[in-house]
């Protein structure tokens, strides 16, 4: 088959689902955008705004989105709906979602649209914005450095020991607040990626946070002094990488000029410091809020060497708690893609330029298709045979998180070390033991009482 015919065949690939795409009314479209999209922009796509998180939690923004999308899905069924004359498609069918995410490196571009413009402000050549030859070059490099094909990262022992050391150093009084946890993950991130010499170099993470907050604006962005200062500092660290760090692995793995090695680092930084930090904090809250769940986690910790990454890897129940926190309160409320070529999706023609939205805040809690959608069910994550494309806290397909195993390892290590050293009680917000979890969880406001064990 000729290259032209092959390309045409790929473009015309039909999603496995045949439920079709319905046309939403203008009223429905405005309701979906107002509850499912606007709040995501308000809270900040890259760096959550503290004030916005507080307000959105107060009005239960995600709960409203779930209610609106549930009604729209029940009326239309199928794989999703077209909004605004088909310029925008919201997907909820697992088959259609699979089609889009499996082909995000070819047909459904993540390097287009408003979100890509904002992300380009601080990591213009990152893997998550790549497709085609760039993706095929950068993906194996990221997988190798982050150890995504390994059950346990080759440097897992050192990374877990870093977590244990930083938890032991935490200057807690009687209260654990977000600022304490954020500093913990700031230090873990610096030491895992850059090494012990960088422990106090919080200018690195501060510069990235500044650029991410600027990226929230989505428009009017251009490289500035903060951008050049950050990448200059990253270049210096790469030239003098410490053994046992992610940077030390850069020269060990095949790469080319196309890889843009230094451009890959910021994503590792904010995924570890900000995204994992928030997810692990919420998971810790969910664990200690339910005595039965905490007892089950502690049973696995009895006599365990918490600095052995393989032991932590085997703690599937604790891993399930972390997965459930990410499912219940996704730090990425939506995934956006742009159709690069005319395609057939869910059995229907979709023209190039169409925007595709996958609303995690709804799909993760779809009451008609997710069992116990609002409850913490760690057992849900016991060695699933195939990935469930409704759950995209670590994404799925060609643009899934290449650092997934490392994320789970570090998150479980932090929670386990905290439970081993402290008796914690969640003071706020109130989370029901065994009952339906609230749709919103403002991690900035979460507080624990803490007593050294």
Q: Which of 5, 45, 22, 77 is nearest to 369 (CA)?
A: 77
Please check whether residue 148 is in contact with residue 426, taking contact to mean a CB–CB distance below 8 angstroms.
no
Contact at 8 Å (CB) between 367 and 373? yes
Which pLDDT score, from 0 to 100, does residue 384 have?
63
Distance CA 416, CA 395 (A): 25
- Alpha helix segments (H runs only) across 364-449: 404-421
User: Full-prediction pTM beyond 0.85?
Assistant: yes
Q: Which residues contact 162 (CB under 8 A, 6 or more apart)?
A: 188, 191, 192
| 252-280 tens-digit pLDDT | 998 999 999 999 999 999 999 999 999 99
| 3-class DSSP assignment, residue 324 | helix
Is the Cβ–Cβ distance between 204 and 190 less than 8 Å? yes
pLDDT value at residue 118: 86
Tokens of 329: 């309160």
Which residues in the chain land under pLDDT 50? 1-18
Residues 336/356, Cβ–Cβ less than 8 Å = yes
> In terms of Cα–Cα distance, which of 137, 339, 167, 347 is closest to 257?
137
Sheet holding 447-452, edge to edge: 175-177, 447-452, 422-428
By the 8 A CB rule, do 338 and 108 touch? yes
Detail the DSSP E strand segments found in 188-312. none
Q: What is the pLDDT of residue 298?
A: 97
Q: What is the pLDDT of residue 321?
A: 98
> Which residue, chain included where needed, has tokens 């990488």?
241
Question: What pLDDT score does 330 carry?
Answer: 97
SS3 (DSSP) at 332: coil
Nearest to 203 by CA among 229, 181, 182, 185: 229
Do 174 and 451 meet the contact criterion of CB atoms below 8 Å apart?
yes
């Amino acid at each position: 088959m000729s290259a032209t015919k092959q390309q045409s065949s790929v473009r015309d690939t039909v999603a496995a689902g045949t439920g079709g795409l319905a046309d939403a009314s203008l009223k429905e479209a405005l309701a979906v955008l107002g509850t499912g999209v606007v709040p995501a922009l308000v809270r900040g796509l890259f760096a959550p705004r503290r004030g916005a998180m507080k307000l959105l939690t107060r009005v239960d923004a995600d709960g409203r989105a779930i209610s609106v999308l549930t009604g729209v899905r029940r009326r239309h069924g199928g794989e999703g709906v077209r909004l605004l004359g088909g310029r925008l498609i919201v997907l909820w069918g697992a088959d259609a979602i699979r089609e889009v995410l499996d082909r995000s490196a070819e047909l459904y571009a993540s390097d287009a649209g408003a979100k890509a413009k904002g992300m380009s402000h601080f990591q213009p050549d990152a893997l998550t914005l790549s497709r085609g030859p760039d993706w095929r070059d950068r993906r194996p490099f990221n997988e190798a450095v982050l150890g995504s094909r390994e059950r346990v990262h080759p440097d897992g022992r050192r990374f877990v020991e870093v977590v244990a050391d930083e938890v032991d150093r935490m200057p807690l009084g009687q209260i654990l607040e977000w600022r304490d946890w954020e500093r913990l993950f700031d230090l873990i991130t610096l030491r895992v990626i850059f090494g012990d010499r960088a422990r106090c170099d919080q200018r690195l993470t501060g510069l990235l946070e500044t650029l991410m907050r600027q990226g929230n604006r989505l428009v009017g962005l251009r490289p500035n002094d903060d951008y050049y200062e950050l990448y200059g500092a990253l270049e210096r660290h790469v030239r003098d990488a410490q053994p046992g760090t992610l940077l030390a692995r850069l020269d060990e793995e095949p790469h080319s000029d196309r890889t843009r090695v230094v451009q890959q680092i910021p994503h590792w930084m904010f995924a570890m410091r900000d995204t994992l930090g928030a997810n692990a904090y919420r998971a810790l809250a969910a664990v200690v809020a339910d005595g039965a769940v905490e007892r089950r986690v502690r049973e696995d910790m009895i006599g365990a060497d918490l600095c052995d990454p393989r032991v932590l890897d085997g703690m599937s129940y604790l891993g399930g708690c972390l997965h459930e926190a990410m499912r219940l309160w996704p730090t990425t409320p939506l995934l956006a893609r742009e159709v690069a070529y005319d395609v057939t999706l869910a059995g229907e023609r979709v023209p190039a330029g169409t925007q595709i939205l996958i609303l995690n805040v709804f799909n993760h809690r779809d009451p008609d298709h997710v069992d116990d959608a609002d409850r913490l069910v760690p057992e849900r994550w016991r060695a699933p045979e195939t990935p469930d494309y409704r759950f995209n806290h670590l994404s799925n397909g060609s643009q899934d998180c290449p650092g997934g195993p490392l994320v789970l390892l570090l998150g479980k290590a932090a929670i386990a070390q905290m439970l081993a050293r402290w008796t914690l009680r969640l003071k706020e917000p109130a989370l029901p033991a065994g009952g339906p979890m609230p749709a919103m969880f403002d991690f900035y406001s979460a507080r624990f009482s803490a007593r050294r064990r």
